[in-house]
């Protein structure tokens, strides 16, 4: 059991801006919350490869193919940084993966939407990765050392993702009327799901207050969302794209953009597993894991035999 004295000392360290490292004492609840949040983040990076991988063979040029390949490889890398950071909390990688594939571990609901056209790939880069950067920049200041460092590394790479998406969308929005229509259609479909990526309103978010108290998060869902909207409105304007929200208006008093109601019913139904792609995504991930089992086993066996041969030879 954590004693009050331990909890108070821990809170003092957090309030003083100290980073918590894997071997430091921490409240059990802090550890559990981190495992939940960090592994969820890792799962999201991994599942995020699916909607984009879908377009690698159909990217419009060799350059765009190379860019998309590099981006998908980055997502795998981000997943690995985060799994590796989560393991420092004393939980095994295999357990994390199995909780996700066969248990109840979650991933970001944004990846449960389909990528219907190539413009969706542009919009994912601009909006989805743009939102992810806002979130991860905040998490790079997280109180848990390994999580903070993993996010720092991710942020450095993520800006490439956002920029390539924004560049492509700008080109498309500047193209033929048909291309422009395609770009606008993709933005219309991804705008609201992107805003949902920041999570429920602060008043409806069960974990937020605790995570902020412990410095795991340093800003609330609504603060991050507002920051994202402020930034994105200008970027949309610059390339002649409109955002599908009639209530979007600049508020002179606050200096921020006010926006309309987010369709939360849709959010909760996707979170609960009824999004357009939930089942397919999970099926694809399970298949990849199970079909890859022989590779993992063979590699272990190969390593064992090689070691035996070396021992014999010496």
Partner 1 sequence: MTEQTETKHEWPLWEVFYQPKDGKPFEHAGSVHAPDAEMALQNARDTYARRSEGIAFWVVPSDQIVASAPEDAGPFFDPANDKPYRHPQFYSVPRAVKKRK
CB burial of 152-174 (b: ≥16 within 10 Å; e: otherwise) equals bbbbeebeebbebbbebbbebbe
Q: Does 7 bind partner 1 (CB under 8 A)?
A: no
Short-list 132, 160, 108, CA closest to 232 = 132
CB of 7 to partner 1, least distance (A): 16
Q: How far apart are CA 144 and CA 58, in angstroms?
A: 40
- Residue 137 and residue 72 in contact, taking contact as beta carbons nearer than 8 Å: no
Closer by beta carbon to partner 1, 293 or else 313 = 293
For residue 307, with 0-12 CB atoms within 10 Å meaning exposed, 13-18 middle and 19 or more buried, which class applies?
A: exposed
Place of tokens 């694809």: 284
Q: Rule CB under 8 A: which of 169-228 touch partner 1?
A: none
Give the one residue of 18, 40, 69, 77 binding partner 1; rule: CB under 8 A: 77
Counting contacts by CB under 8 A, is residue 81 touching partner 1?
Answer: yes
Q: If binding is defined by CB under 8 A, does position 25 make contact with partner 1? A: yes
Give the separation between CA 289 and CA 77, rounded to whole angstroms: 17
Q: Does 300 bind partner 1 (CB under 8 A)?
A: yes
Token pair 């079909």: residue: 291
- Distance in angstroms (rounded) separating the CA atoms of residues 117 and 60: 11
User: Which of 12, 58, 92, 286 touches partner 1 (CB under 8 A)?
Assistant: 92
Q: Which stretch binds partner 1 (CB under 8 A): 38-46, 70-78, 110-118, 262-270?
A: 70-78
15 binds partner 1 (CB under 8 A): no
Q: Which of 56, 80, 248, 284 binds partner 1 (CB under 8 A)?
A: 80
**Site residues for partner 1 per CB under 8 A:** 21, 23-25, 70, 73-74, 77, 80-81, 84-85, 87, 92-94, 146, 149-150, 157, 293, 296-297, 299-300, 302-303, 306-307
């Amino acid at each position: 059991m954590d004693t009050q004295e331990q909890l108070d000392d821990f809170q003092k360290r957090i309030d003083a801006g100290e980073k918590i490292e894997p071997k430091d004492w921490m409240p059990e609840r802090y550890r559990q919350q981190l495992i939940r949040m960090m592994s969820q983040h890792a799962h999201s990076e991994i599942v995020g490869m699916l909607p984009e991988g879908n377009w690698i063979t159909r990217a419009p040029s060799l350059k765009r193919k190379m860019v998309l390949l590099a981006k998908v490889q980055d997502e795998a890398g981000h997943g690995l940084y985060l799994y590796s950071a989560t393991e420092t909390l004393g939980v095994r990688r295999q357990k994390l993966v199995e909780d996700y594939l066969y248990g109840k571990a979650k991933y970001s609901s944004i990846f449960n939407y389909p990528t219907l056209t190539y413009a969706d790939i542009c919009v994912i880069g601009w909006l989805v990765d743009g939102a992810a950067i806002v979130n991860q920049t905040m998490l790079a200041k997280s109180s848990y050392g390994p999580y903070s460092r993993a996010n720092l590394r991710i942020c450095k790479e993520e800006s490439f993702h956002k920029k390539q998406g924004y560049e492509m969308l700008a080109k498309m929005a500047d193209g033929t009327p048909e291309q422009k229509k395609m770009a606008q259609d993709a933005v219309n479909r991804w705008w609201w799901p992107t805003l949902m990526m920041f999570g429920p309103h602060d008043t409806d978010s069960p974990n937020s207050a605790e995570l902020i108290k412990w410095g795991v998060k340093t800003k609330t869902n609504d603060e991050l969302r507002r920051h994202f909207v402020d930034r994105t409105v200008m970027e949309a304007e610059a390339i002649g794209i409109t955002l599908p929200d009639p209530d979007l208006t600049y508020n002179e008093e606050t200096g921020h953009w006010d926006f309309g109601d987010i369709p939360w019913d849709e959010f909760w139904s996707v979170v609960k597993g009824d999004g357009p792609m939930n089942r397919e995504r999970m099926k694809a991930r399970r298949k990849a894991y199970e079909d890859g089992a022989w590779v993992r086993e063979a590699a272990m066996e190969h390593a064992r035999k090689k070691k035996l041969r070396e021992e014999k030879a010496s």
